[in-house]
């Protein structure tokens, strides 16, 4: 196994709600990353065909047409789109982690928030369905199962992935640690709105403060004054904690919000101005890397025309591919201090059982 791995995280938007066109864009990004000698190419949460951002800000009774489009454009794990990505992975000799909205063969409307890790030979190494859709995601996706709680053992490291809010679940994270994970991929949407625009107005002068800073002055937290969810802080906090505990590298891959996403999610709404403002004002997700202590690991972009590198801590407000080179031997030192699934665990005191059975609606004999 190679100890050096180049990771390419695609901070990219889908062609909103078009599985065919987004698949073509993904293959183009895989090719570009392979040209730049990437070993692992990572895509955001539900990259094909889109993340259902409309469910955050629109009433469910307004979203029937959007859900129908989402169901129509969601893809099968053994369908043409995934097979095309598998063929690209094999052609260019790279590993691919792909987020997609998966549909069931036995239903016209049961969907899952899924991810596959594809090997350099084009084979699917891990097929995971998000254990529990978060908040308004329940309006689109069904709960998954434990079948995909696996770490792929590849020539470029032991690679695992969890989707968005699963990175808040300590048992899911420990499950990955217990399999010797060296590179942890966390995939995220471009935005994750939790409030309408009125929630991010300036704090009124008469608002009661709810904390005290290091300077002794009182302050009002962003949550208390109704601010929107801070994607960068929340995502990095969760990923960094896991990197520190598992002594693994972290890949945070977030989507990019395209103008077509705002237009589609706004169209047909009874309050288009509010929805549009809510989408445009929401905190953008960021794509970044973390080292085995949870510290930010600066990456770099590569100009496709000149080949010139530019160091960047993260990508947030522009599309692109962020690269980093990691040395897997760096996962060793921290295990001296806290190997929480090994020498620093009390296996005689604690026991975790993980059910990996793939759930089916009926068993036919």
Q: Is 102 a catalytic residue?
A: no
| Residue located via tokens 């599309």 | 319
Q: Which of 10, 45, 69, 137 is catalytic?
A: 45
Which residues, 6+ apart, have CB-to-CB distance to 295 below 8 Å? 240
Q: Which of 25, 137, 158, 164 is catalytic?
A: 164
Containing 225, the helix (H) or strand (E) segment is none
Map residue 29 onto helix, strand or coil: helix
CB 91 within 8 A of CB 309: no
Q: Which of 25, 69, 103, 130 is catalytic?
A: 130
- Rounded to the nearest 10 degrees, how much is the dihedral formed by the CA atoms of 262, 263, 265, 266? 110
Q: Is 73 a catalytic residue?
A: no
DSSP string, 127-180: EEE-SS--GGGGGT-----GGG---EEETTEEEEEEEGGGGG-HHHHHHHHTTT
Which residues, 6+ apart, have CB-to-CB distance to 200 below 8 Å? 226, 227, 228, 281
CB 289 within 8 A of CB 250: yes
Q: What is the DSSP letter of 214?
A: T
Q: Is the dihedral of CA 20, 21, 23, 27 positive or negative?
A: positive
Q: Is 45 a catalytic residue?
A: yes
Q: What are the residue numbers of the active site?
A: 45, 130, 164
């Amino acid at each position: 196994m190679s100890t050096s791995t180049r990771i390419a995280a695609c901070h990219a938007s889908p062609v909103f709600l078009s599985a065919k066109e987004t698949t073509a864009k993904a293959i183009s990004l895989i090719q570009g990353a392979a040209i730049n000698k990437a070993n692992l190419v990572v895509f955001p949460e539900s990259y094909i065909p889109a993340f259902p951002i409309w469910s955050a800000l629109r009433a469910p009774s307004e979203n029937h047409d959007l859900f129908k489009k989402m169901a129509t454009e969601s893809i099968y794990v053994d369908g043409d789109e995934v097979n095309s990505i598998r063929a690209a992975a094999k052609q260019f000799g790279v590993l691919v982690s792909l987020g997609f909205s998966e549909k069931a063969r036995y239903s016209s409307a049961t969907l899952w928030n899924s991810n596959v890790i594809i090997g350099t030979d084009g084979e699917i190494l891990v097929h995971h369905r998000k254990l529990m859709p978060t908040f308004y995601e329940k309006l689109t996706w069904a709960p998954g199962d434990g079948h995909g709680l696996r770490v792929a053992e590849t020539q470029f490291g032991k690679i695992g992935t969890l989707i968005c809010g699963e990175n808040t679940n300590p048992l899911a994270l420990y499950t990955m640690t217990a399999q010797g994970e060296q590179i942890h991929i966390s995939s995220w949407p471009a935005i994750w709105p939790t409030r309408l625009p009125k929630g991010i107005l300036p704090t009124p002068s008469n608002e009661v403060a709810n904390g005290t800073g290091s300077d002794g002055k009182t302050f009002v937290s962003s949550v208390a004054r109704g601010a929107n969810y801070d994607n960068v802080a929340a995502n990095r906090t969760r990923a960094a904690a896991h990197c520190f505990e598992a002594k693994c590298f972290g890949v945070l891959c977030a989507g990019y919000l395209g103008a077509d996403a705002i237009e589609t999610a706004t169209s047909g709404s009874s309050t288009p101005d509010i929805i549009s403002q809510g989408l445009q004002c929401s905190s953008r997700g960021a794509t970044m890397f973390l080292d085995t202590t949870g510290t930010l690991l600066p990456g770099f972009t590569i100009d496709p025309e000149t080949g010139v590198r530019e160091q960047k801590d993260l990508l947030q407000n522009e599309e692109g591919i962020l690269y980093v080179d990691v040395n897997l031997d760096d996962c060793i030192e921290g295990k001296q201090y806290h190997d929480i699934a090994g020498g620093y665990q009390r296996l005689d005191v604690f026991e975790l059982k993980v059910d990996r059975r793939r759930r089916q609606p009926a068993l036919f004999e």
